[in-house]
Structure 1
Amino acid sequence: MSTVAILANPASGKDIRRLVAHGSVFDNQEKVRMVRRLILGLEQAGVSRILYMPDGYDIIPRALNAIHPSIPVDAVEMPIRNSQTDTTVAAGIMETLGARCLIVLGGDGTSRAACKGTCAVPILPVSTGTNNVFPQMGEVTIAGLAAGLVACGRLPCEACCVRSCMFDILIDDRVVDMALVDAAVYDDVFLASKAVWDISKVPQLFMTRCSASSIGLSAIGGQLQAIRPEEPRGLALRLDGDPSMIVTAAIAPGLFADVPVSEVTEMTPGTVFPIDTRPGLIALDGEREVEISRTASAGIRLNTEGPLVIDVPATMALARTKGFFVNLYPYEESS
């Protein structure tokens, strides 16, 4: 049985960066419409069952009000706390129940929460958040089709997925958390609203990937280097000390910052980069998550065994070469 899981975060796209920057609000009704299209794409690909994470807004039940798929769409039984813990717990449950793919609707933070639950199941992150570096932009009908082809085994996972790097977050030599895109040291002791927008409080910044077309903290590194998610290297920046350059980057939607950079270092897998700020915080994929006590030893390590991410264009290109969606009319020679 080919099972696909849908994890839709009703809180994504609504954080405080809507106030301090100029991001658009991604309303839940649009997520409902997106889920409808996802389900229809999965059905067309041949998926036999869809599981979903329940949520306070009932995104998937509302989506099913307007469509009638021929395959079962079932909620998993789990407690709902209306936090990102729901996504982490749901991802682990989906793996146990045999899901062959996780489709995650959210931003970088939601994708990270899902990968904390499991990195063993291929993930298709769909962009509905604030800073969307890890999730993919594109039409979800096609995303559902691609995810379904992989989940059904009609196309090989190794040809359709990319293994992304991630960061291990270490406190006293113990892994306590992870990040998919960036980890920023934050010179503060309050988690507060979690989102990071005051770059003057960031003395160190680490990135698993860099692109000049990105938004968020990784956009700073993106103006210096290009690093693909699957490349076994990362980038570490020092933003304190005497600057050797000023980098202008869009650190949030509509919000630019001139960032002083004093040191640029390439990260190799397995090397631990120490964090000097104590006490302080570590923001993971744009959100303050990990507290560093005054006596703790903290560090960041690049890990090449991150999640398997479905590449939608590559998957659909392979489906085209195999002629999955082309049926030729029989040709009869005239007598």
Structure 2
Amino acid sequence: MSIAAILANPASGKDIRRLVAHGSVFDNQEKVRMVRRLILGLEKAGVTRILYMPDSYAIVPRALNAISPSIPVEAVEMPIRNSQTDTTVAAGIMEILGAQCLVVLGGDGTSRAACKGSTAVPLLPLSTGTNNVFPFMGEATVAGLAAGLVACGRLSRDKCCYRSCMFDVLLDGEVADMALVDAAVYDDVFLASKAVWHMDKVPQLFLTRCSASAIGLSAIGGQLRSIRPEEPKGLALRLGNGSPLVVTAAIAPGMFADVPVTGVTEMAPGEIFNIETSPGLIALDGEREVEIPSGSRASIRLNTEGPLVIDVDRTMALARDEGLFRGPYKKAKESI
């Protein structure tokens, strides 16, 4: 039996950056339509069972109102807390139940929550969030096909996926949390709305990937270097006034910041970078999550054993090369 799993976050694409910046709202009805196409793609690829995360909006049940797949589509049994914990718990349960791929609908934060539950199962993150550096931005139908081919074993994981880097967040030498894209030190003690947009309060920024076309905090590094997700290195930036180097970057949809950069250091796997702010906060993938108590020692470590991510373009190209969706012409039977 080949099992695929769907984790659709009803809260993604609706955070405070819709008020302080100019991001569009990704409504749940569009997620319903995406899930509908995703299920059809998974079924066509040959998946024999689909698991899904239950949620308060009932995204998957609403999607099933308009289609009748020939395979079972079942919710995992779990409490709904309407928080990121739901995604983390669901991912862990799905791994135990034998899911061979996890399709995650959300932004960077939702993808991070899923990876906190499982990094062993191949992940296909589909963009429905605010900052979408980690997720794939594309058509759900094709994403379903790609995820399904991996879940069924019709194509090799090794050929279809890449291993992404991530950050270990250490408090007093122990792993306290993780980040997929960026970790920003925040010189404040209030979690508040969690999202980061006051760059004058960020003295240190750590990035697992950099691209000039990215949005969010990684866009700052993207104006200095290019680092692909699978490359075994990261970038540590020191920020602060008085620097002759100022980077202009889109740190949120429609929001730009001029960020003074005082230092740029390449990060090697396993190398520990100390955080000099205490007390303070660490924002992970754009949201303030970890508190640094007074007197505690916090640090960041680049970990090359991050999630296994399905590359949709690579997977579909391989499916073409192997002729998975080609066959002899079959004449349709004439009705009597």
TM-score under structure 2 length normalisation: 0.97
Aligned residue number for residue 126 of structure 2: 126
SS at match of 1:185: strand
> In the alignment, residue 256 of structure 1 is paired with which amino acid?
F
> In the alignment, residue 140 of structure 1 is paired with which amino acid?
A
Compute the displacement of 1:243 (Å).
Answer: 1.1
Aligned residue number for residue 275 of structure 1: 275
Aligned residue number for residue 164 of structure 1: 164
The 1-side partners of 2:175 and 2:241 are apart by: 28
Aligned residue number for residue 315 of structure 2: 315
SS at match of 2:13: coil
Aligned residue number for residue 305 of structure 1: 305
Matches within 5 A, 1:30-179: 30-179=30-179
The 2-side partners of 1:176 and 1:16 are apart by: 25
Compute the displacement of 1:324 (Å).
Answer: 0.8
> In the alignment, residue 63 of structure 2 is paired with which amino acid?
A
SS at match of 1:283: strand
> In the alignment, residue 72 of structure 1 is paired with which amino acid?
P
Runs ≥4 residues deviating over 4 A: none
SS at match of 2:6: strand
Compute the displacement of 1:74 (Å).
Answer: 0.2
> In the alignment, residue 299 of structure 1 is paired with which amino acid?
S
Aligned residue number for residue 296 of structure 2: 296
The 1-side partners of 2:28 and 2:235 are apart by: 35
SS at match of 1:42: helix
**Over aligned residues, Cα RMSD in angstroms?**
0.7
CA deviations 1:215-271 (Å, max 9, x no partner) are 000000000000000001000000025313000000000000000000000000111
The 1-side partners of 2:56 and 2:197 are apart by: 28
The 2-side partners of 1:157 and 1:327 are apart by: 24
Compute the displacement of 1:313 (Å).
Answer: 0.4
Aligned residue number for residue 192 of structure 1: 192
The 2-side partners of 1:146 and 1:159 are apart by: 12
The 2-side partners of 1:27 and 1:200 are apart by: 32
Compute the displacement of 1:328 (Å).
Answer: 2.7
| 8 Å CA contact retained: 1:167, 1:300 | yes
> In the alignment, residue 49 of structure 1 is paired with which amino acid?
R
SS at match of 2:51: strand
Aligned residue number for residue 208 of structure 2: 208
The 1-side partners of 2:157 and 2:244 are apart by: 44
SS at match of 2:39: helix
Aligned residue number for residue 246 of structure 2: 246
CA deviations 1:102-130 (Å, max 9, x no partner) are 00000000000000001000000000000
Q: 232-241 vs 119-128, which deviates more?
A: 232-241
SS at match of 1:145: helix
Compute the displacement of 1:170 (Å).
Answer: 0.1
| 8 Å CA contact retained: 1:169, 1:177 | yes
Q: 240-249 vs 165-174, which deviates more?
A: 240-249
| 8 Å CA contact retained: 1:104, 1:114 | yes
> In the alignment, residue 144 of structure 1 is paired with which amino acid?
G
Q: Which runs of 5+ in 2 are unaligned?
A: 331-336
Q: Does 1:181 align with 2:202?
A: no
| 8 Å CA contact retained: 1:244, 1:263 | no
The 2-side partners of 1:102 and 1:200 are apart by: 37
Aligned residue number for residue 6 of structure 1: 6
> In the alignment, residue 5 of structure 1 is paired with which amino acid?
A
The 2-side partners of 1:243 and 1:180 are apart by: 28
**Aligned residue pair count:** 330
